[in-house]
Structure 1
Amino acid sequence: MSNGTVQHKIADQVSTVTFYHPQSNSLPGALLRELAATIEAAGNDPGSRVIILQSEGEKAFCAGASFDELVAINDMETGKVFFSGFAAVINAMRKAPKFVIARVQGKAVGGGVGLASAADYAIAHESASVKLSELAVGIGPFVVGPAVERKIGTAAFGSLSINATEWQSAKWAADRGLYAEVHTSIEGVNEAVTKLANKLAASNPEAMLELKRVLWQGTDHWDQLLLDRAMISGRLVLSDFTRAAIAKFKGK
């Protein structure tokens, strides 16, 4: 269990993809690759019509990329591979021929905000505050940026990126379109997710596919764009400034 898990199950034409990592559901590279492959497989499975993306537990939804792997980067190629992990997951969600519902039960940091943004519909608990912390360690939310900016707009993305040490509430996120619904209990979140998933499972698959294409129109270049963004982060993480910032962060 120390390396984390990704599970996929199908019931009543609903695919549920669940990821877990003991460090606040953070996602190391291997787990990101498995998650991307699992979402792609769920999208292509004829036995389901909708995908639920969730993490285990009732605390953090996702703490972002693995900090242990971040501090171990020592060359450009390793950095590119590391930062392209979330690119693979976001693109898998974008290209899945089915709607993706995100169940966000707790705080989302960095890449976790990217996952919620890349979902077609996010249902959150009131504890699901958000933070893009990348600038605080000398990098920037470059890979997840296109998904977040598309969802909440340039101004809100800019403020979230620049004020990198402050949490914004679930209400803040909902007011800006990141969350479609916010509930006061986990039971309410679960009921809302199940209700919507069942509605979509009974809907016309062809109509849903066409609507998804409309909603994601103009993002066909993201396969290359997100890799280009990963290279920016891979370069910055090798700078003396970023290494010093990471060392300071680790020392806290």
Structure 2
Amino acid sequence: MHRSAPRLTRILACAAVPVMLVAAGCSSDDPGSGASPSPSASAAGGASAAPATTAAPAPSVAPAKFAKLPDACKAVTAKTVEDLVPEVKTKSGTPGKSSDMTSRGSCSWNGLEDKGVKGSDYRWLDVSLLRFDSDPTLGGGEKRAQDKYTDKVAEAKAAEGAIDVRTSSAPGIGNEARAVSYSLKKTGETFRYGVIVVRTENVVITVSYNGTGYAGAEAPAAGELMEGTVKAVKDAVAAVAAANK
């Protein structure tokens, strides 16, 4: 009877060991125990390790070649103004209004030459300059200038009241140029116009030269006017290049 009690105690103790081990294995939080992490823990860890997304870079455009415009009233030389507008009222020209002289400018000259009994000759010369910057949202300066060049040529061809409209290329001036000539009736006289629109890189230049005759003087010939327009627009193209040296 005395030997059976210790033996029974040892049997009960050995029977309890597997239960304790199982319990310990199921409740262990020790990463070294070999227990696999739960699915939710794996998912959480994967989410935190995911790389952050970045916004796509803005499209790049080539910088515009010309960053400046010349003074529009100095874009045509004094000698050219004297040749094209005899008896000019204001030799320095009359500047147009502009809120940004680096992007747009204009100037005009006019004069009336009295020839006595032969009548009077009236002449008007106008130059307009438009410069376009490169902009990632709007496009390159050159492309923007090309679009405006097309618009300006169409505008010249569609002048209100114009008759006998003729157009032709103007080779050798800038990157591209178009000449437009027409006649227009106003103040009881026939005015003749020579217009050239030219694009030089990212700048669009429009030169308009027109005139008429009063009191018996004849209106200028279309060819004569266009020769004067070519002379003035070449001055303007050279002035843009010089302003950006």
- TM-score normalised per structure 2: 0.23
Q: Whose strand fraction is larger, Structure 1's or Structure 2's?
A: 2
Q: Whose helix fraction is larger, Structure 1's or Structure 2's?
A: 1
Which is bigger in relative contact order (C-alpha 8 A, separation at least 6)?
1
